[in-house]
Amino acid sequence: EAGLQVELARARYLLPRLKRMWGHLSRQKSGGSSGGGFVKGEGEKQIE
């Protein structure tokens, strides 16, 4: 049980830091002045 408490505490500690670390990606996707929209990554295909 102590091990689970340690893991939970670690997860609670890391979560906000991970959100901040990857936050710049969500800001990049949200638009921009280029008007190009979302750029697909490797392996992604357009579905129409």
Q: Which three-class secondary structure string do you get for the chain?
A: CHHHHHHHHHHHHHHHHHHHHHHHHHHHHCCCCCCCCCCCCCCCCCCC
Q: Is residue 46 part of a domain?
A: no
pLDDT tens readout for residues 18-40:
877 777 676 655 555 555 555 55
Q: What is the domain range of residue 17? A: 1-28
Q: Is residue 20 part of a domain?
A: yes
Q: How many domains does the chain have?
A: 1
| 29 vs 2, more confident | 2
- Residue 4 and residue 9: Cα distance in Å, rounded? 9
Q: Is residue 41 part of a domain?
A: no
Q: Is residue 42 part of a domain?
A: no
State how far Cα 2 lies from the chain centre.
30
Q: Is residue 38 part of a domain?
A: no
Mean predicted lDDT score pLDDT of the chain: 71
- Residue 31 and residue 13: Cα distance in Å, rounded? 31
pLDDT tier at 47, thresholds 50, 70, 90: low
Q: Is the pLDDT of residue 1 over 80?
A: yes
Q: Is the pLDDT of residue 10 over 70?
A: yes
